[in-house]
Amino acid sequence: MGKKTPIFLVLALVIIGAIGVLLILNRDVLVEKITEKPIDDERQAWMQRTRELENIILQMQEAKEAKPLFPSERFSQAFGPTSPLVRGASPKSMECRQLEESLRTFCSYLDATEILRSQKTYHDSWALLSEILATVERTLPPVSGEAYRPSIIIENSFYFFRLLRKEKINIARDVLRYEADLAEPLIGILYYWLFVGRQCDELPSSESTLKMMYNYAAFFLNTLGGHSYLYRRDSKIRALTSYYANLVIHEANLRGLNEVGLDLRFFLPLTFNEIQSRNDLLYTEEYLETLSDLQLHYFR
């Protein structure tokens, strides 16, 4: 009898070991069975809470008054009640005389603001704009050679300050600061008005005007000095400047005036991504459609 005892112990240990192995192998199944109900209850609670939040959001959206996409009253005040901008049109769709009329009306509006009334020298915005345009046309920025002459980087970094001087620079800065909500249509108006050469009976723009626009587009896109100016401005101004600079380079390509040889295949995707990531532009769809067409043109 005493000799049989070890056999029973061995059998018992084998059985216990087998049960232990089975438990280890089926641990996940057992844990899942044990915790299945609490997890299911928690999942149901979260689903119920999600449905409640969705209902709250829907109620808030229904109760919220819809705001018009285009601030027509503001545009009417700044660009005139007859401007197509008031009806939701973009500068691209406007005729030359509509562009000039809207620009002149904006200058008259600006004359009545504190920006011009506080100036000692300049009180006529249209005359000031004409003077600035004549100055930037007369002296063009260097758009190449920064790699060989570091002094050009310094020249370009202070280019506009040396060219226009402090008072004009301050006026331009104040306009961008205090009339920021008008910057997008205003930049568009200036671009398309310049593009037609500022003379509504002469289409397309003269070669000299396009060369001037090309130099400044290359300055902003392809020089460290131009980049430094853009990165000191609001990101919206930077995105819009890059967009219209791309359009200018494209037009220069079509007319064989891309003297520096800028490759839009580098700049287009960057500008597209920058505009696509924004939610504060009025004409986003137009910009992205135009940039998409240009990318198809250059990447085909």
Q: Provide the residue ranges of all domains of the chain, joining segments of one domain with +.
A: 72-299
Strands of the chain (E only): list them: none
Tell the burial category of 283 from Cβ atoms under 10 Å away from its Cβ (0-12, 13-18, 19+).
buried
Q: Which residues of 254-279 are buried (b: 16+ CB within 10 A; e: fewer)?
A: eeeebebebebeebbeebbeebeeee
Tell the burial category of 132 from Cβ atoms under 10 Å away from its Cβ (0-12, 13-18, 19+).
middle
Q: Which residues contact 255 (CB under 8 A, 6 or more apart)?
A: 207, 210
pTM of the full structure: 0.75
pLDDT in tens, the chain (300 residues): 444 556 666 566 666 665 655 555 555 555 555 555 565 666 665 566 556 545 555 554 554 444 445 678 999 999 999 999 999 999 999 998 999 999 999 999 999 998 888 877 888 999 999 999 999 999 999 888 776 787 888 888 888 888 998 899 999 999 989 999 999 999 999 999 998 877 676 555 567 788 999 999 999 999 988 888 888 888 999 999 999 999 999 999 999 999 999 999 999 999 999 999 999 999 999 999 999 999 999 987
Given a contact cutoff of 8 angstroms between Cβ atoms, the answer to whether 167 and 122 are in contact is yes
CA-closest candidate to residue 291, choices 266, 271, 274: 271
Q: Which residues contact 177 (CB under 8 A, 6 or more apart)?
A: none
* Cα 245 to Cα 221: distance, rounded to the nearest angstrom: 7
* Cα 271 to Cα 262: distance, rounded to the nearest angstrom: 15
Given a contact cutoff of 8 angstroms between Cβ atoms, the answer to whether 89 and 70 are in contact is no
